[in-house]
């Protein structure tokens, strides 16, 4: 199907990345429909974060094509990816720890060339319970608050597509619910998400589709109910201690 005829906001075709002898991402293809939440699960080391790095030009693919709204974006400079409306968070939170919460939001806005971010930034801080911390140095925040700040740094810029790399890692159940509620509300507004996460309850409840990776390969793709029953998926996840609770 030609890209123009597809309703996919993101289309990945034959994406591959090798580090020396390790094939971190191996001929990976899938599509993400506009307004959907797609989960990526798989054991540690299966290539999930590398896939995100390829989609956001932190790394250049060895092979493959990435189309965003029908246009090729693989290998574009990082800032251009962000300015086209693709946001992301990192498995280890990426904020400026020596700077205040508000300065982090300012820097995020500068990076994306935005001037209309202050009102939404304040709204997201309020919604995430961070307003009283706005002038605090970011390294005094808990891990959950840091994840919420990194999320607010993205959301204040109104991305169309948001990639979240293990947003629940190290966060308490209250923050977990805050993040799940935000994703659900934004999906209702038509935003699109790609989320790497080990918490199966979160993934099963929120995702329209799940992509499963193992050793760099996509081993399954489908609705949560089908993925839950897929023998190859069960073996890949059970073998390596992924959280199933």
Pairing of strands 192-196, 37-41: parallel
Among 6, 16, 91, 100, binds Mg ion (CB under 5 A): 91
Q: What is 139-161 written as a DSSP string? A: GGS-HHHHHHHHHHHHHTT--SE
Say how far apart CA 193 and CA 87 lie, in whole Å. 10
Closest CA to 15 of 3, 28, 1, 5: 28
46 touches ligand ADP (CB under 6 A): yes
Contact between 47 and ligand ADP by CB under 6 A: the answer reads yes
Beta carbons of 192 and 207 less than 8 angstroms apart = no
Q: Is 173 helix (H, G, I), strand (E, B) or coil?
A: helix
Contact letters for ligand ADP, residues 50-89 (x by CB under 6 A): x---------------------------------------
Of 198 and 209, nearer to ligand ADP (C-beta) is 198
Question: Token pair of 119, please?
Answer: 């009102």
Minimum CB–partner distance for residue 51 and ligand ADP (Å): 7
Q: What is the spatial distance between Cα 216 and Cα 42, in angstroms, rounded to a whole number?
A: 9
For Mg ion, give the closer residue by CB, 91 or 100.
Answer: 91
How distant is the alpha carbon of residue 128 from its chain centre? 18
50 belongs to the binding site for Mg ion (CB under 5 A): no
Stretch that binds ligand ADP, among 47-55, 100-108, 109-117, 139-147 (CB under 6 A): 47-55
Q: Is 16 in the site for Mg ion (CB under 5 A)?
A: no
| Residues 23-42 contacting ligand ADP, CB under 6 A | 24, 42
CB of 173 to ligand ADP, least distance (A): 23
| CB of 45 or CB of 224, closer to Mg ion | 45
**Contacting Mg ion within 185-214 (CB under 5 A):** none
């Amino acid at each position: 199907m030609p890209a123009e005829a597809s309703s996919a906001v993101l289309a990945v075709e034959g994406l591959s990345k090798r580090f020396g002898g390790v094939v971190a991402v191996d001929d990976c293809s899938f599509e993400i429909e506009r307004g959907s939440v797609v989960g990526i699960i798989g054991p540690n080391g299966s290539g999930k974060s590398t896939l995100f790095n390829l989609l956001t030009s932190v790394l250049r693919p060895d092979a493959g094509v990435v189309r965003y709204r029908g246009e090729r974006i693989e290998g574009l400079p990082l800032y251009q990816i962000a300015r086209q409306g693709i946001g992301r968070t990192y498995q280890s939170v990426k904020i400026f720890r020596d700077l205040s919460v508000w300065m982090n939001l300012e820097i995020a806005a500068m990076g994306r060339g935005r001037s209309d971010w202050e009102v939404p930034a304040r709204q997201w801080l309020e919604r995430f319970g961070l307003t009283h911390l706005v002038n605090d140095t970011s390294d005094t925040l808990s891990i959950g608050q840091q994840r919420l700040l990194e999320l607010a740094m993205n959301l204040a810029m109104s991305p169309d597509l948001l990639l979240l790399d293990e947003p629940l890692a190290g966060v308490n159940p209250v923050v977990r619910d805050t993040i799940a509620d935000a994703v659900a509300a934004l999906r209702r507004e038509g935003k699109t998400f790609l989320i790497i996460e080990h918490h199966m309850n979160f993934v099963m409840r929120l995702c329209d589709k799940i992509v499963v990776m193992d050793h760099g390969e996509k081993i399954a793709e489908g609705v949560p109910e089908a993925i839950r029953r897929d023998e190859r998926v069960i073996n890949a996840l059970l073998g390596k201690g992924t959280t199933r609770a």
